[in-house]
Amino acid sequence: MNIEVNDAVVARAAKHAALAEPARLAIVDALSLGDVSPSDLQAMLGMPSNLVAHHLKVLEGEGIVARTRSAADRRRSYIHLVPGALDGLLPSGMLTASRVVFVCTANSARSQLAVALWRRSSPVPAASAGTEPAERIDPGALAAARRHHLPIQNTRPRHLNDVLTTDDFVVTVCDNAHEHLDRLDTATAAHWSVPDPVPAGTDAAFDAALDELTRRVSDLAPRLSAS
């Protein structure tokens, strides 16, 4: 059999080589749930910062991970998997939770949209909350849901303290909320660094947030079952 070694095969081999190191595979496993800062990876792996930086450089060089600057603390960055970079290679182990709680600052857009998407994708119950809840769901979020035929409950935003229980699987969809919880030493199960569409207020901004949340929900839902 004549097997052609073309550019695509070479690129795949390079990714496999990058993942053949246990620490780099552990990093990818962690990022399969959500975005993680380099300092958090350092703590999770019990590894010095220079070694974490080396492994991230290798993974970035192969287009497996990328980083974005925090929208809250600009000195912090978050590492995320590049969409589609590891199709078919992510861990398939099942996680369990009694409920998923999506958290952003105002509980007026991203977390509300995430719940609506989750309810369409998974039987695991879901709720949303905010660290500083607004008076109402942002009209732009409601309009985006209507454009995409996404059922959404127009309920008053709620504070995290009134929603969260010890058995919840928490997903922060906002850098501000994630770093607020981090400062309070509250553990979150996963973080999705999704840009806030509210300041721009445009259809394009809300659609982009919804597209990103859709991708994230699609990745997580098959891995989470009811406890």
Mean pLDDT of 53-81: 95
- Give all domains of the chain, ordered by start, each with its CATH number: 7-81 (1.10.10.10), 95-226 (3.40.50.2300)
Asked if 108 contacts 134 with a C-beta cutoff of 8 angstroms, the reply is: yes
Mean pLDDT of 132-147: 97
Cα–Cα distance for residue pair 16/25, rounded to 1 Å: 10
Beta bridge partners of 160: none
Give the pLDDT score at 184.
63
Torsion of CA 204, 129, 172, 169, to 10 degrees: -130
The phi and psi torsions of 102 (rounded to 5 degrees) equal -95, 130
Q: Return the residue matching tokens 């792996």.
A: 45
Give the pLDDT score at 4.
56
pLDDT tens digit sequence for 149-191: 999 988 999 999 999 998 899 999 999 999 988 766 566 689 9
Mean pLDDT of 42-71: 95
Nearest 5°: the CA angle 139, 207, 131 is: 55
pLDDT tens digit sequence for 84-116: 888 877 666 778 899 999 999 999 999 999 999
Whether 135 has a pLDDT exceeding 50, the answer reads yes
Average pLDDT of the chain, as a whole number: 91
CB atoms within 10 A of CB 1: 2
Instruction: Tell me if the pTM is above 0.75.
Output: yes
Asked if 70 contacts 78 with a C-beta cutoff of 8 angstroms, the reply is: yes
Whether 46 has a pLDDT exceeding 70, the answer reads yes
DSSP-derived secondary structure for 47-108: --HHHHHHHHHHHHHTTSEEEEE-SS-TT-EEEEEPTTTTTTTS--PPEEESEEEEEESSSS
Helix, strand, or coil (residue 152): coil
Lowest mean pLDDT among 10-14, 80-84, 88-92: 88-92
Lowest mean pLDDT among 51-55, 94-98, 146-150: 94-98
Cα–Cα distance for residue pair 78/66, rounded to 1 Å: 8
Q: Give the rounded percent of residues in the chain with a pLDDT score beyond 90.
A: 74
Distances (CA, A) of 175 to 20, 69, 114, 192, 224: 31, 10, 15, 8, 23
Q: Encoding tokens for residue 163?
A: 């929603």
Helix, strand, or coil (residue 172): strand
Give the pLDDT score at 1.
38
